[in-house]
Amino acid sequence: MATNTAYVPAPQIRDPAALRRLDGITYVAKRALDRALAALLLALLLPPIVLIAALLKLDSRGPVFFRQIRVTRHGRLFLMYKFRSMFDGADALHAGLAAAGEGNGAIFKLRHDPRVTRVGGWLRRTSLDELPQLINVLRGEMSLVGPRPPLVTEVASDWRHMSRLEATAGMTGLWQVSGRSDLSFDEMLRLDLQYIQRWSLPLDCLIILRTIPTVLSRRGAY
């Protein structure tokens, strides 16, 4: 699938004031800052990234990276990268675990997922599994800060996801620093829309700073 030209239907809920902020010169500056910081972080974090890749290979068979189609701004599809946290072929068991999901109704989450490997569990608890998303930021598919990138199936099953596609998906966001997986879908939606409506570069900087203690506390990470 050519993910750089594929789309889901365009968002149906629009806030003209928010769109002006998201299309202005400051938003261009946001994208430039995203790419610059992503490149810097990838260079600085190369040693731990290589170490994590080696640990994954030693712990279980399968690829180092997990790739999944997600939806970003204006319904654009892209391949999101993460470190693989489950054993190879775990997707085939998803249907059998769906009934045991502990997510917020619109998003599947399982606190003690039997498909997660030993190293994968540690990566999830420390949020290190998300480091490869810096590649997506560098490619312009994600932002450092923005709404959570939904799955295609999530968008198709609940139209409320559409209103979150006004902004580029982010590695972190108001949802991340406010509870992550412990939030209900309604709470996550409210925070993502609040971010779009209030967006500014200072707000992005504040969220990035708040992300550090959130990650260290491991709250809502599983």
Nearest to 74, CA basis, from 5, 125, 130, 122: 5
Is the model more confident about 151 or about 7?
151
If pLDDT is split at 50, 70 and 90, which confidence band does 20 have? low
- State the Cα–Cα distance between residues 125 and 103, nearest whole angstrom: 16
- Mean pLDDT rounded to a whole number for the chain: 81
pLDDT higher than 70, residue 174: yes
Nearest to 188, CA basis, from 156, 164, 152: 164
63-104: pLDDT as tens digits: 999 999 999 998 899 999 999 988 877 665 555 555 444 445
If pLDDT is split at 50, 70 and 90, which confidence band does 41 have? very high
Collect all residues with Cβ–Cβ distance below 8 Å to 115 and sequence separation of at least 6.
Answer: 86, 87, 90, 93, 97
Provide the percentage of residues in the chain whose pLDDT is more than 70. Answer: 77
Pairing of strands 170-172, 143-145: parallel
Provide the percentage of residues in the chain whose pLDDT is more than 90. Answer: 39
